[in-house]
Amino acid sequence: MLDEFKQNGLSIDDVVSRLRDLPYEDLDFAKVDHHRAIRKGFPEVVFGQGKSPAQIASIAAAHLEKADTLLVTRASSEAYQAVKSGAADDATYDELARTIVVDRRTDPNLVSGVAVLCAGTADLPVAMEAVVTAELMGCKVERVFDVGVAGLHRLLVHVPTMRESSALVVVAGMEGALPSVVGGLVDVPIIAVPTSVGYGASFDGLAALLAMLNSCAPGVGVVNIDNGFGAGYLAATITLTAKRRQARAED
């Protein structure tokens, strides 16, 4: 905006009009945080669960007036149709991850370093939420799926990929053992994600959560049950921060 003003593309009135909606735009039922990208380096993400399709579409329309990317998590297909018809006809929907994405970046220049692992196919919705999040934030994501502890030989062939990563997202339900196993093999940060997958005594992911919190492997942090978004966001933040610091050091 300042560049446009400097080049006489914007008048003072135009600048003031745009600044009026910072740091947020009040939609009555929601306050869209346009200032988030300045503070955090990535725009506000919309949590779709509990919001109506119309509300999500209105938030998306306001959001895209100031940002070139949009991520809606826990979104229904009805919400996607509302966004596509009322806010962005270039929106895409990942049915497995339950995410709505708009990506209008012309040159994303993805950074390598994030890998997402999951124990079983039933964990894929959470794992894919992490993948979609990290990719939209600007990371190239390696996917290592269905490598749970019931067949460790499936995991071991991917050790080189894990060791070359800057951050690992490790998703598991049932007894939640996979992050501990991975933690004993690599020297990179691990974000463990318990899922609600499992039989009765898994208590909808509580057993996996407690197992991960009690991991004896160092370097393992844990996010909430089924929180693929939080894990993907953190892995991307670790990777992008390291990249920026490396670039500054080289300069």
pLDDT at 243: 84
Look up the pTM and report it.
0.86
Closest CA relative to residue 46, chosen from 61, 248, 193, 2: 61
131-147, pLDDT tens digit by residue?
999 999 999 999 999 99
Dump pLDDT digits (tens) for 182-205: 999 999 999 999 999 999 999 999
Ranges of beta strands (E only) in 25-184 are 25-26, 31-32, 46-47, 69-73, 92-94, 99-103, 111-118, 139-144, 167-172
pLDDT digits (tens, 9 = 90+) for 140-184: 999 999 999 988 899 999 999 999 999 999 999 999 999 999 999
What are the backbone dihedrals phi and psi of residue 139, each rounded to the nearest 5 degrees, phi first? -115, 145
Tokens of 78: 């009805």
Domain ranges of the chain: 2-103, 111-243
Percent of the chain at pLDDT above 90? 68
DSSP category for residue 225 = T
- What is the CATH topology of the domain spanning 111-243? Rossmann fold (3.40.50)
Which residue(s) pair with 221 in the sheet? 191
C-alpha dihedral sign at 211, 213, 219, 220: positive
